[in-house]
């Protein structure tokens, strides 16, 4: 056979493989059964939210005790707003200010599902108070919005599930599977006394939840290049974070007779090496994202991610070129602080640099430190791992579970034809503590958020529309029915 024919035959076969893999790559969305969404009084739900926005439950730091008056008022207002829920469910407090509600299902053999939220909020920038359209703890309902600190992050995720339970109780619904609501009071300062204590309590009771839903993702637009319209970003895991230190030591002395390299020189060399040799990229992590986007993802993305065996190198280089996409595929290392030396004519005894690192699931803090030691390869420079500070990355919960599918289905029932995409959350949340007792931990706040809304979170003029509050309640009610059914999982 002539060489030309052989080569063109091989090319045709290659093209066929690429085409086949691309066509079979997307996960087709499940058909959404027409569902009767529970009628919800959005105004009443907004009033419930506004009432707890007025409680200044600010988390300042792990060393500052919670404000008993503010958290006490919040508890009293919840009790007043949801008498039916408090009567029908078991209500416990954990470390005084965290709340755990248990709605017993009909079948005690089924593992429960847990809806998370937190009642604490971050402080308000006192210098920016006059930029708030309505005071941050007014809970003003105006212009179609509830205004105030915590409306988006995340008191709506406290009243939302409670309103959903109230509506389901009123409709006579009883779950087969036990439904729990767990609201920590210190999420913004690591969750030690809230979420961690609740997880310890559940573990002590031998409870392994079947699925957990927390904040983390949202309905967003314009976050995925080339994808038009909103997508539901459902966090299946979160990056870890830690700040490591590099310490270079040398003999001090007069700067008139320096060695070839001072402590500062050794540290600089180490930093240059660290930046030149990043942690390995793992582009396969993006495969589920593109698979769930299906035909909404640009064809080029589908071809590339379906054929990493061939195009992996190109994909890696393309994603690594932008800091945003690079952060999605690798553990990042950012030198953020540097110090060394005491006087201009004295050789420094020591030079130090801080590396702020964000860990990808699968990379541990120990492995990261080992990578740095290997890359630096210099006995004069120590890599110091802080004791007990920093979070390991969470594991990744599967996107092909019935729990994820129910989330995706519910999203489309409430918000219309939007795809649900598994993705990695870059911020830390209470959810990370639940991976220890649950294999299906998802992060999704059922709210349509714009880029501008994201800026309001931990910023100024935080608000949520009254209509969105109503939709959240419908979402939770629908998901409680789906997750609370016997056959899920």
Residue 37 backbone phi and psi in degrees, to 5: -75, 145
Residue nearer to Zn ion on the CB measure, 216 or 422: 216
Find the binder of Zn ion among 46, 70, 74, 154 (CB under 5 A). Answer: 154
- Residue 121 binds Zn ion, judged by CB under 5 A: no
> Which of the following is catalytic: 67, 120, 153, 238?
120
- Residue 158 binds Zn ion, judged by CB under 5 A: no
Instruction: Find tokens 């003999």 and name the residue.
Output: 251
Distance CA 355, CA 373 (A): 13
292-321: which residues touch Zn ion (CB under 5 A)?
Answer: none
Distance CA 104, CA 178 (A): 5
- Residue 120 binds Zn ion, judged by CB under 5 A: no
Residue 274 gets the label, from left (phi > 0), alpha (psi -120 to 50) or beta, of alpha
Residue nearer to Zn ion on the CB measure, 349 or 448: 448
- Residue 464 binds Zn ion, judged by CB under 5 A: no
Assign 59 to helix, strand or coil: coil
- The two structure tokens encoding residue 476: 């939770």
120 is catalytic: yes
CB of 136 to Zn ion, least distance (A): 16
Q: In sequence order, which ranges of 277-390 are alpha helices (DSSP H)?
A: 287-293, 299-306, 308-320, 323-329, 365-376
CB atoms within 10 A of CB 54: 17
For residue 227, what are the contacts with CB-CB under 8 A and spacing of at least 6?
A: 293, 296, 297, 298
- Residue 153 binds Zn ion, judged by CB under 5 A: yes
Residue nearer to Zn ion on the CB measure, 383 or 431: 431
CB of 59 to Zn ion, least distance (A): 10
CB of 429 to Zn ion, least distance (A): 6
Distance CA 460, CA 132 (A): 6
Distance CA 483, CA 487 (A): 9
249 is catalytic: no
Residue nearer to Zn ion on the CB measure, 154 or 303: 154
Which one of 150-158, 176-184, 406-414, 441-449 is the stretch in contact with Zn ion (CB under 5 A)? 150-158
Residue nearer to Zn ion on the CB measure, 67 or 153: 153
Residue nearer to Zn ion on the CB measure, 154 or 351: 154
> Which of the following is catalytic: 67, 186, 187, 363?
187
Which one of 146-154, 162-170, 283-291, 378-386 is the stretch in contact with Zn ion (CB under 5 A)? 146-154
30-69: which residues touch Zn ion (CB under 5 A)?
Answer: none
- Residue 357 binds Zn ion, judged by CB under 5 A: no
Task: Tally helices (H) and strands (E) across the chain.
Answer: 16, 19
Task: Return the closest-CA partner of residue 132 out of 145, 148, 112, 154.
Answer: 148
Which one of 152-160, 198-206, 250-258, 411-419 is the stretch in contact with Zn ion (CB under 5 A)? 152-160
Counting beta carbons within 10 angstroms of the beta carbon of residue 6, is it exposed (0 to 12), middle (13 to 18) or buried (19 or more)?
exposed
Which one of 49-57, 145-153, 279-287, 415-423 is the stretch in contact with Zn ion (CB under 5 A)? 145-153
Interface size with Zn ion, residues (CB under 5 A): 2
Which one of 43-51, 147-155, 248-256, 446-454 is the stretch in contact with Zn ion (CB under 5 A)? 147-155
- The two structure tokens encoding residue 424: 């990695």
Integer-rounded Cα Rg, in Å, for the chain is: 26
Residue nearer to Zn ion on the CB measure, 45 or 154: 154
- Residue 353 binds Zn ion, judged by CB under 5 A: no
Residues binding Zn ion (CB under 5 A)? 153-154
The catalytic residues are 120, 187
């Amino acid at each position: 056979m002539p060489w030309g024919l052989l080569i063109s035959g091989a090319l045709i076969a290659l093209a066929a493989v690429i085409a086949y893999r691309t066509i079979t790559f997307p996960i087709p969305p499940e058909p959404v059964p027409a569902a009767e969404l529970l009628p919800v009084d959005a105004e009443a739900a907004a009033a419930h939210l506004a009432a707890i926005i007025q409680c200044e439950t600010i988390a300042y730091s792990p060393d500052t005790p919670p404000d008993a008056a503010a958290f006490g008022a919040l508890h009293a207002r919840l009790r007043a707003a949801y008498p039916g829920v408090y009567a029908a469910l078991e209500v416990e407090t954990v470390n005084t200010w965290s709340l755990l509600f248990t709605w017993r299902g009909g079948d005690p053999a089924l593992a429960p599902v847990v809806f998370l939220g937190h009642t604490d909020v971050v402080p308000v920038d006192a210098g920016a108070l006059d930029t708030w359209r309505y005071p941050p703890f007014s809970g003003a309902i105006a212009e179609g919005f509830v205004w105030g600190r915590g409306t988006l992050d995340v008191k709506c995720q406290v009243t939302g599930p409670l309103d959903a339970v109230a509506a389901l109780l009123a409709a006579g619904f009883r779950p087969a599977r036990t439904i729990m609501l767990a609201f920590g009071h210190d999420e913004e300062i690591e969750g030690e006394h809230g979420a961690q204590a609740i997880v310890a309590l559940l573990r002590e009771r031998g409870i392994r939840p079947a699925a957990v839903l927390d904040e983390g993702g949202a309905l967003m637009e314009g976050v995925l290049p080339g994808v038009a319209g909103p997508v539901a970003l459902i966090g299946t895991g979160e990056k870890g974070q830690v700040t490591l230190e590099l310490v270079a030591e040398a003999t001090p002395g007069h700067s008139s007779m320096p060695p070839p390299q001072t402590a500062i020189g050794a540290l600089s060399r180490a930093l240059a090496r660290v930046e030149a040799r990043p942690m390995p990229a793992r582009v396969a992590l993006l495969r589920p994202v593109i698979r769930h986007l299906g035909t909404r993802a640009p064809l080029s993305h589908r071809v590339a991610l379906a054929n990493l065996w061939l195009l992996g190198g190109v994909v890696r280089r393309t994603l690594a070129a932008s800091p945003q996409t690079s952060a999605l595929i690798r553990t990042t290392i950012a030198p953020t602080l540097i110090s060394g030396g005491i006087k201009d004519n004295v050789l420094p005894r020591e030079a130090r640099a801080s590396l702020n690192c964000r860990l990808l699931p699968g990379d541990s803090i120990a492995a990261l430190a080992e990578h740095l030691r290997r890359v630096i390869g210099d006995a004069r420079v120590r890599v110091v791992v802080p004791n007990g500070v920093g979070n390991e990355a969470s594991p990744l919960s599967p996107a092909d579970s019935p729990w994820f599918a129910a989330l995706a289905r519910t999203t489309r029932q409430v918000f219309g034809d939007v795809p649900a995409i598994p993705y990695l959350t870059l911020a830390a949340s209470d959810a990370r503590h639940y991976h220890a007792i649950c294999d299906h931990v998802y992060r999704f706040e059922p709210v349509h958020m714009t880029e501008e809304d994201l800026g309001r979170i931990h910023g100024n003029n935080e608000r949520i529309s009254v209509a969105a509050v109503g939709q959240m309640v419908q979402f939770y009610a629908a998901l409680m029915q789906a997750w609370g059914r016997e056959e899920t999982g």
